[in-house]
Amino acid sequence: MSALNTFDFVLIGGGIVGTATAYKLSLKFPGKTIALIEKENSLASHQTGRNSGVIHSGIYYKPGSLKAENCRVGREQLVEFSMNQGIAHRICGKMIVATNEREVQVLDEIFDNGLKNKTPGIKHINAAEIEALEPSVKGLKAIWVPSAGIIDYVAVAKKFMELVLVSNDDNQLFLSENVIDLKRRGEEIDIFTNKQTIKARKVIVCGGLFSDRLAKIDDIKLNMQIVGFRGDYYQLLEHAKYKVNNLIYPVPDPKYPFLGVHYTPMIGGEVECGPNAVFTFKREGYTKTSFNLKDSLQALSYKGTLRLFAKNWAKGIEEYRRAFSKKLFVKELQRMMPSITEADVVATRSGVRAQAVGIQGQMIDDFKIIRNKGITHVINAPSPAATACMAIADEILEDLG
């Protein structure tokens, strides 16, 4: 297709999954035209640009799940792509630290997962080995994960799109355009934005925090809904950076899909601590007082949200207290690193995670892709979606042609 504003493929959403899919389409179908629509004035403004910047190893995820397989394959593709394109990244390794006997048991289960998931090079290390690698960390036992690393995901997303645009003069990027409706018309799909109508033969929706609403305008009946969880970060001050050499993670609570408050040395030289996980009253709300009436009503009138809260009220209160108290946040950091003090850290940024919640109040932990008459919807792409983005794109491309 080459008519004005008519394309073979149109992607909705300019985060890491949308841009990776556009890139993979340009490789597979070099003669086809591709457009990407992003509602913000730049790419990767939300989940992609506000996460920890970690290249995950795939050690945690249920063997055989889309998460496990796509993380393993996607990490390999991402590292190779970044090396070839000169994107800043570092494979620094990660330590998952158990600080009590209960966590040691969970740690062993994670290690078994890692073996089944073919996570390269993992090994158990004891308290003395922990201290040798990270002198400020105190733990009973840990897993050393050499394949984990850090990267600039915003740079990755922008590079994906840059390569798409140079691969075909007819490919286009539409920024600051919000998709408000989708209509099928014969062999084509009309995409109505706040500025224009764009036509496509196939559409791929990577809507992140708004994936469920975009599915709804395509008349898809979902048995889940997106609920936003804000994560706040602190940053080590210059005098305390020496305390962290590598990625340092706690043993996560197996009841939740969050990995816990961790230490992350960033590509820019900063060292971040976080995030926590609290319900947010606005899907793209990055402050403690962010509020949107529509987002709040939709989340709080959904039975799944209420059931989730009912089952996890104690954990929710604990997270909220920590969100409003630097003292409690630092106390959590001290579990692995007793020497950290409030004087060592300063509050910095936050992000919001799109968490799919089922009608029974269960957190949907795996990737979810729905194909509907020429429109592919990525409904749920939680962490490690950034690491797995190129493998997720391969999954999306399987039935496209």
157's enclosing H/E stretch is helix 153-167
Amino acid at 103: E
Residue type, 187: E
pLDDT reading at 1 higher than 70: no
pLDDT tens column, 176-186: 999 999 999 98
Q: Which residues of 36-69 are buried (b: 16+ CB within 10 A; e: fewer)?
A: bbbbbeebbbbbbbbbbbbbbbbbbbeeeebbbb
Average pLDDT of the residues in 44-54: 94
In order, the DSSP letters of 185-234 are ETTEEEEEESS-EEEEEEEEE--GGGHHHHHHTTT---SEEEEEEEEEEE
Asked if omega into 275 is within 30° of 0 (cis), the reply is yes
Q: Give the mean model confidence (pLDDT) for residues 95-121.
A: 95
What is the CA angle 398-356-56, rounded to 5?
65
Q: How far is CA 364 from the centre of its chain?
A: 14
- Do residues 79 and 55 lie in contact, with contact meaning Cβ atoms separated by under 8 Å? yes
pLDDT confidence of 2, banded at 50, 70, 90? Answer: very low
Distance (Å) of CA 98 to CA 37, 64, 92, 165? 44, 25, 20, 47
Q: State pLDDT tens for residues 228-275.
A: 999 999 999 999 999 999 999 999 987 776 778 999 999 999 999 999
Cis peptide leading into residue 382 (ω within 30°)? no
Domains (range + CATH), the chain: 6-48+154-223+366-397 (3.50.50.60), 94-146 (no CATH)
Alpha carbons 249 and 265: distance in angstroms, whole number: 12
Which residue, among 227, 209, 153, has the nearest Cα to 12 in the 3D structure?
209
Share of the chain above pLDDT 70, in %: 99
pLDDT at 72: 93
Which whole number is the average pLDDT over 136-141? 97
**274-308 pLDDT tens trace:** 999 999 999 999 999 999 999 999 999 999 999 99
Distance of alpha carbon 73 from alpha carbon 268, whole angstroms: 26
Six token digits for residue 114: 């890692």
